[in-house]
Amino acid sequence: MVPNFDVKGKVFVITGAAGILCSEMARELGELGARVAVLDLNEERAKEVAKEICDKGGDALGLKANVLDKDSLTAARDAVLEKFGTIDVLINGAGGNRPDASTSPDLSFFDMPPEALRFVFDLNLVGAILSSQVFGKVLTDKKEGNIINISSMSALRPLTNVLGYSAAKAAVSNFTAWLAGHFALNYSPNIRVNAIAPGFLLTEQNRFLLKDKETGEMTPRAKHIIGQTPMGRYGTPEELVGAIVFLASDAASFVTGTVLCIDGGFGNFAI
Ligand code: NAD
């Protein structure tokens, strides 16, 4: 049997889709013929990303949606259903960190404010759960579909300082396995739930941490990261898309509850 990686015509809902990684996914999925609902707290950017997809001949809709507000998610779901008629894949992309949920020379573990930890837990974990409730209902009603969460390397190997984010992403990996079992057992084995765990990617956002502004040389932090990565380089946002296509397509028809690392070997090998 030839594996079927086709995502053409499938309706993807992507939260946080105005961000660096998920806007890249949205654009590439649009080029592959998927229909894409670009959801983000930042409505203006969501609409811009949708327009870029449409300008290239794709089919996309940009909408404001706050993953921490069920009414906002429900309104977005209704708009997606009105435009596309169905939903096939939910990518829970909204997520991130906050400086005061990480230790630093100015903030010890003992002084970390609980509201910072709650913010990071809410954004990464509760946001993925609420979105899966609202959009997942469409999948359980039609008894098929896919959810893809975004975990992180720091769920697997907690990185120095980032306490809140590491714990929240570990919870996202756990939720992935939980929901995969829950949907398969109670609704349909044709609803799959998986996650990707990106490793270190070089993006505009972290370039200043990883490359010296003047010389372009790797910073000490960058040398340490690359030294721990068997493939000896960073990844790029585009390199996440192959895994998304795999997980969302029939090629992964027996894959559920898993976290797929896209990390050049960082997570599973100590150098
Ligand atoms: P980003 O900051 O570029 O994008 C995040 C997007 O989420 C932004 O557009 C923001 O407006 C949106 N957002 C924030 N709060 C929201 C809310 N309440 N509701 C809806 N949208 C909201 O981040 P990114 O680097 O593209 O990361 C995307 C995902 O990948 C996140 O879950 C992140 O934790 C994860 N991740 C990123 C990396 C990396 O190297 N960049 C590595 C591992 C995991």
Q: Tens-digit pLDDT profile for the chain (271 aa)?
A: 899 999 999 999 999 999 999 999 999 999 999 999 999 999 999 999 999 999 999 999 999 999 999 999 999 999 999 999 999 999 999 999 999 999 999 999 999 999 999 999 999 999 999 999 999 999 999 999 999 999 999 999 998 999 999 999 999 999 999 999 999 999 999 999 999 999 999 887 787 778 888 888 888 888 999 999 999 999 999 999 999 999 999 999 999 999 999 999 999 898 8
CATH 1.10.1270.20 fits 11-199+237-263, yes or no: no
pLDDT for 18 equals: 98
Q: Give pLDDT, residue 212.
A: 82
- For CATH 3.40.50.720, the residue range(s) in the chain are 11-199+237-263
Nearest Cα residue to 185 out of 88, 258, 257: 257
The residues assigned a catalytic role are: 165
Q: Tell me how far the alpha carbon of residue 186 lies from the centroid of ligand 1, in angstroms.
A: 31
Burial class (CB in 10 A: 0-12, 13-18, 19+), 240: buried
Q: What is the pLDDT of residue 219?
A: 84
Rounded mean pLDDT of the chain? 96
Task: Tell me, using a 6 A CB cutoff, whether residue 120 lines ligand 1.
Answer: no
Cβ of residue 123 lying under 6 Å from some atom of ligand 1? yes
Answer yes or no: is the C-beta of 100 below 6 A from any ligand 1 atom: no
User: Which of 13, 22, 165 has the most ligand 1 atoms within 8 A of CB, as the residue to mutate?
Assistant: 22
pLDDT tens digits, one per residue of 25-82: 999 999 999 999 999 999 999 999 999 999 999 999 999 999 999 999 999 999 999 9
pLDDT digits 0-9 by tens, 245-257: 999 999 999 999 9
The pLDDT of residue 152? 96
Is 267 touching ligand 1 by the criterion CB < 6 Å? no
